[in-house]
Amino acid sequence: MLVQKNGNGIRFIDEAGIERIRIHGPDPKAPIGTNSNSGWILRIQDKNKNYLDNFRNIGGYKANETHIPIYGNSILEK
C-alpha cells in the first residue's frame, strides 16, 4: 500500500509492481459532473494495466466508467 503521488489517496501495488487498486478523493481538476470530480472513487487495473469498470469491462484511463464511485455508510450519514 502506497500513498497516491499527490497525497489524495491510496494505491495498492501487486508483487509485479502493477498498481491494481487506487482509491482517491474528489479531483477538483476533473470535469464537473464526472465521478472523479463528484466524490471518492475506486480504480481497478488488470494484469495488463487496463482500467476496469464495475462490470469488469475495459475502459480508458480517463473514462468516467473506470472511476467507480464509493458511497459512504448511509447509517452514518443520517
**Residue from 69, 40, 39 nearest 54 by CA:** 69
What is the rounded distance in angstroms from the CA atom of residue 10 to the CA atom of residue 21? 8
Q: What is the pLDDT of residue 7?
A: 65
Cell of 6: 499527490
Q: Phi and psi of 44, rounded to 5°?
A: -130, 135
Distances, alpha carbon 26 to alpha carbons 5, 13, 29, 33, in Å: 14, 21, 9, 11
Q: What is the pLDDT of residue 45?
A: 93
User: Residues 9-66: pLDDT tens digits?
Assistant: 888 889 988 889 999 999 999 999 999 999 999 999 998 989 999 999 999 999 999 9
**Residue from 64, 26, 62 nearest 54 by CA:** 64
